[in-house]
Structure 1
Amino acid sequence: MGKTINELKVGDKDHFEKTITETDVYLYAGITGDFNPVHINQIEAEKTMFKGRIAHGMLTAGLISTVLGTKLPGTGTIYLGQELKFTKPVRIGDTIKAEVEVIEIIPEKNRVKLKTTCTNQNGEVVLDGVATVLAPKE
Structure 2
Amino acid sequence: MREGDGFRRTTKVTTGDAAQEIAAAGLLGALVAEEMPAAGGEFLKVDWSVCAPVRPGDEITAEARVLAAREGKPISRIAATVTNQNGEVVLQGTALIYRRAA
Specify the alignment match of 2:29 in structure 1.
Answer: 65
- What RMSD, in angstroms, separates the aligned Cα atoms of the two structures? 1.6
Judging by fraction of residues, say which structure has more helix.
1
Please tell me the residue identity of whatever aligns with 1:13.
G
Specify the alignment match of 1:135 in structure 2.
Answer: 99
Specify the alignment match of 1:28 in structure 2.
Answer: none
Establish whether residue 18 from structure 1 lines up as the match of residue 30 from structure 2: no
Please tell me the residue identity of whatever aligns with 2:47.
E
Percent identity between the two aligned chains: 31
Where structure 1 has 5 or more consecutive residues not aligned to the other structure, the ranges are 1-7, 26-38, 41-54
1:110: how far off?
Answer: 2.3
> Equivalences for 1:80-99 in 2 at 5 Å?
80-99=44-63
Q: TM-score, normalised by structure 1?
A: 0.67
Structure 2: distance between partners of 1:91 and 1:97: 13
> Equivalences for 1:99-118 in 2 at 5 Å?
99-118=63-82
Where structure 2 has 5 or more consecutive residues not aligned to the other structure, the ranges are none
Q: Which has the larger radius of gyration?
A: 1
